Chains A and B, each alone.
Chain A
Amino acid sequence: MAHGTEHIEHHAHGPKTLPAVLTAPDFVAAWRTRMLVVAVAATLVSLVFFLVHDGPAHILRAYLLGFMMAFTFAGGGLCMLMLQYVSGGKWGLLLRRPLEAMARTLPVVAVLFLPIIFGAKSLYVWARYTTPTEFWQAAHQGLITEEEALTSIAKHAMLSKSSMIVEWAVIFGVFLAMMYFLQKWSVERDADPAAGSQRSYDKWRERFENLSGIGILIYVILMSVGAIVWVMSLDVTWYSSIWGLQFLVGQGFAVLALSILTVVLLSKTEPMKTLLRTTEQHDLGKFLFAFVMLNIYLTFAEFLIIWSGNLPDEIPWYLNRIRGGWWVICSMDFIFHWVVPFCLLLSRDLKRSKKKMVILTSWMIFARAFDLFWLIEPNFPDAARNLHLSGNFGILAYITVPVAILAVWAYCYLTLLMSRPLVNTNDPHLAEMLEPEHAH
């Protein structure tokens, strides 16, 4: 250590110090303003679709897509938050506050659902009538098919306007309760007088684990109910037992993409600059890759089973989504949400590059929304096996309405992200995150 320069270089290998200010940097406020501008602009453009033929119907469908995306982030954020509490690990501590902020938007998402309750009759066949007699009358008048009448009557216990409200109340009630305790304890954990001691670490770890373990199970069951009632039942005659799991993985796909996007964008300045190490970014990239694989695995398995069975009560769902021009959307969906992320995430350098991961994760969020478009729109008789734009400009609402909803959601998310330090300090993993990268 004879020379000064050597001395400095040597020191770079020691542990880093935790930045003094742990709250989100000021530019997050600028992003928030930008989101508000996007929300207003997208809403104004969306209003134009009220004037076109079939516009209002398409606005409502697009609203459902936007709601499902917001729910993906809020609910999926809650689930991923619980997952990192039970699995532990540095990646979990790194993403904890962003995931918490996503979960804390749940009240907003619960309110966002209200227009769907009011517009249920336009979206769901089963919400149009209440008694079996009314369903049969409608079937005789040719308003709905006989099969739709039969299945709506058979599934009445789960699919009716009153059940829909009860399901909404239970799903969001339980999620909000879980979110309330998780976010409350998270603040109390940092304020613990015994912070930094093994006793404090164990106490909080156990408390979070006890709620999160059972919480994940409850979440998966209730989220499956939500995915079935809100999206699968758009075609009341069709069913798939893998549906809930497929949505769960879709949530993991989008939530992880958004979390990585958040931490990488925040890492331009302190405190995330110090906290985000290439090692953890690389690990998260690998985790994201796993979700990309699992997502295509489930969706393809569903397709292969139904294609092999080729039964008249299952296969029309796919035919509605492949024939009449929909094969273009179907192929693009496959390329967007599997081929592109799969091929790119194979690269180690890409997973370790901040700039490239920002582009890829943004792309993946778009791909998830595109996938939902393919799932939602062909359910409706005017669109099934008939993808067309002429005389159907309302379909463009699928671009503007989800953007408006997600911008509003992002505004809430960023507000909540700014309200707390970006990292939980009373956690033993924090010391590991400040270690130089070679000491693993």
Chain B
Amino acid sequence: MDYFRELLNGFTTLLQPEVFAYLVGGYLIGTFFGAVPGLTSMLAIALLLPLTYSLDVTTALVACASIFMAGMCSGSITATTINIPGAPASMMTAIEGYPLQQRGEGAKALGHAALASMIGGALGAVLLMVIAPLAAEAALLIRTPGKFSLIAFALIVIVISQRDSIPKGLVTTTLGVMVATVGIDVMQPVPRFTFGTSTLMQGIDIMPLVIGAFAISELLVQARKGGRRTVDADAVKAERIRRRDFIPPLSEVREIGVYRYIKSAVIGYAIGVLPGAGGSMAAFVSYAEAMRSSKHPERYGKGSYEGIAAAEGANNSMCSGAFVPMLSFGIPGDPTTAIVLGVLVINGLQPGPQFLDTQLHLVAPMFAALLVSALVLVPLTLYLLGPYFVRIVSIRRDVLYSSIAVIALVGSYVATYSTFQMSLALLFGVLAYVLRQHKYPIACLLLGFVLGPSLEEYCRRALSINDGNPMIFLTSIDSLFFLLLTGVFYYFMVVRKPRTPTIGGVAS
């Protein structure tokens, strides 16, 4: 009962003026970053990270949750109206939404996307509230060798999720772990890779890595592109959207069916729990499943409301699922939750099995923010801002990217009040840019960096309690379970690749 009382307190915390302002402000920022092609909600949260030094942790988490939820559904706005997905997770929505826009039903398509996001996001948030404490209970059963195998499982699944570039995923993940070894050793007071400098003695902070990998590298990518505005103004003027057209007819909602909405939410949530899988994968798998089981598969690729509902419901539900491993095991499953973990670490908090027991009062408002964002802010924002939003995201590139550069660089100065952090951010930015240009997944770099220290610590602890004998990983039941699970995932994701319809196939 205490758990549910604390959750209710989380909702009342949202009513505090400052927290409420960050909830709404975060949602609007997330909507903007999600809708502008090239920007993502992850970048918005990365830019928020330095500000969390001065923010209350609850307020920062609420802002992160609303940005995350907003970024997932706002990509559908430009995906539908001008066929450019604002976020990667809206790729499937563009396939179905744009044909509808061309038939003059774009507003209705956006309405369906918002409704599915609302249902998916809300169900995901409820599932998070119910399942997170159960996952934390289960996490208590895992001992040191099992913790090592669990983190190894997470890292391996993150690598093999990069289906077409597994070796490159392994390279960047290992590089991330290598960067994390700089500084004092996790077990002994021995400095490592400091090259005689005292500045590296404390290790490399997560902030310059996040700012560099996600903000600076994006600036460098955008610097190679031409154009005055983020979105073509001519395309924006092509269609006018009326507010009343956003409400989807009940007959179409019935045709999609309650079962489809729930199924998409459950698929999205389950994919969110998996390490390495993000909104794009959630939307794609749910969309593919909807197409496979649809009564009208022939409508897919030509403007199917069911396809939009499946994709959007899943990617919003994924947001909540991604928090389960982060809060219960301290293992972020995707870059966004890795940055949220950074917010907690900056404030001296370390998620784990007992985190919800001891710190629920800090995260309960975040749970509430996920639910309120989905139930209230998704439909409200579309209804109020929808007709103008495409114009809002058509912003001057010079103003937008100059502003991002200032926030990113000055933000990285905040941690230690030294330009060393800024230099590190630039260094990681250039590194991430070169990696991106050669199609190396940089999300793996961050996840390797975040999970690396725990992987090493549990590996060495497990070996030291067993006199250096690595058989402990096979004789410990929990460790063996995760090693076998790794084998199962490897078999199904690499050896026997899932045969799902391709985006190109659907589009054609």
Q: Do A and B bind?
A: no
